[in-house]
Amino acid sequence: MSPPAAISPTLATATPVAAAKQASHDDGAVQKHEVSVADMHGNWDAFRFAPIRESQVSRAMTRRYFADLDAHAESDVVIVGAGSCGLSTAYVLARRRPDLRIAIVEASVSPGGGAWLGGQLFSAMVMRKPADAFLREVGVPYEDEGAYVVVKHAALFTSTLLSKVLLMPNVKLFNATCVEDLITRPGEDGDEEGIRVAGVVTNWTLVSMHHDDQSCMDPNTINAPIVISTTGHDGPMGAFCVKRLVSMQRIEKLGGMRGLDMNAAEDAIVKNTREIVPGLIVGGMELSEVDGANRMGPTFGAMALSGVKAAEEALKVFEL
Ligand code: 48N
């Protein structure tokens, strides 16, 4: 049985409001008039959406997703974790090098990590100067308090940054997707100890969470010469890549995040954002787990500027 002809909605089958609003011009050709919300006011009785077939929706989603998955199977950079540091990294990298193909792999359905609230469920977000420079670059409004600035809601920072990153044509966010291992290659002259990182191993997060209670569910991969890991401090998913380096004995042990000291913590994390092993750059709070840096608590300037630094470390590789 031949599949039903796909219904291609035309303006004629669109809402009568739209049809009625078709403008015409001198040569009699019908010019499509985009329906405005105002056109709908008072016309709800006649309101109808353009008809669609469910398969059109399915294909609209799957064609795009699998085209992205195919394109990003070979990426220039993979950023693991779309928290404030990972998103800041992506923003800087994608703007500086629009030719680079950047994949962001985020385990949660909702990117943004810990940056949707300022601290202890309070909404305002504090950033110490000079991180206000990053806010101005991204276009996030803030209140200037002298040595620090306050974004009235952390979600304003995260949603603005996220929307800018998602609009960049060379960036693809794979959310609800977990990095569950690293692709590695022998180090210089075949040194198995000195492995370099060459990409990531991924799976749907819901799958990664159930490896122990389901039969084997093998992963997928993304090859990339540079991986930037910003998976946050230790937790169920946090500090993933550096913990994996320890479990594969590529680094001896983790320093473990120290107690809260805002001044010490933020300077250290920005200054020490770096390539931990060839092919793997670590930034944000994941770095505190490597170096034993202090935590800074509810201030986010170091996350943004660690992202700036991580992007610059990656650019060094591509500008060699
Ligand atoms: O927000 P986080 O946890 O990490 P950062 O480093 O971007 O920002 C840290 C910041 O929110 C703080 O912790 C603040 C400053 N507090 C400090 C303090 O003293 O308490 O984002 C990490 C993201 C999350 O969205 C995770 O879901 C994701 O990484 N993630 C992963 N994504 C993919 N694969 C994984 N294996 C993985 N692990 C974590």
For residue 105, give the ligand 1 atom closest to its CA: 33
In the predicted model, is pLDDT for residue 88 greater than 50? yes
pLDDT for position 30: 53
Q: What is the ipTM of this complex?
A: 0.99
pLDDT for position 236: 74
For residue 180, give the ligand 1 atom closest to its CA: 36
For residue 306, give the ligand 1 atom closest to its CA: 6
Indicate the residue type of 238.
G
Ligand 1: distance of its center to the CA of 99 in Å?
A: 27
CA-nearest of 14, 85, 82 to 48 is: 14
In the predicted model, is pLDDT for residue 40 greater than 80? yes
For residue 177, give the ligand 1 atom closest to its CA: 33
- The CA distance from 157 to 141, in Å, is 8
Phi, psi dihedral angles at 109 (to 5 degrees): -65, -40
Is 296 close to ligand 1, i.e. is its CB under 6 Å away?
yes
pLDDT for position 192: 72
Question: pLDDT tens, 216-268?
Answer: 888 999 999 999 999 999 877 789 999 999 999 999 999 999 999 999 999 99
Is 126 close to ligand 1, i.e. is its CB under 6 Å away?
no
What mean pLDDT, rounded, does the chain reach?
A: 90
What is the average per-residue pLDDT within 58-81?
Answer: 98
Tokens 């505190």, located at residue? 288
What is the average per-residue pLDDT within 8-19?
Answer: 41
DSSP class of 106: E
* 308 burial type by CB count under 10 A (0-12 exposed, 13-18 middle, 19+ buried): buried
Ligand 1: distance of its center to the CA of 29 in Å?
A: 55
In the predicted model, is pLDDT for residue 21 greater than 90? no
Question: Which residue, judged by its Cα, is nearest atom 3 of ligand 1?
Answer: 232
Question: Which residue, judged by its Cα, is nearest atom 18 of ligand 1?
Answer: 297
**Substitution candidate for ligand 1 out of 242, 303, 306, 308 with most atoms within 8 A of CB:** 303
What is the average per-residue pLDDT within 145-156?
Answer: 98
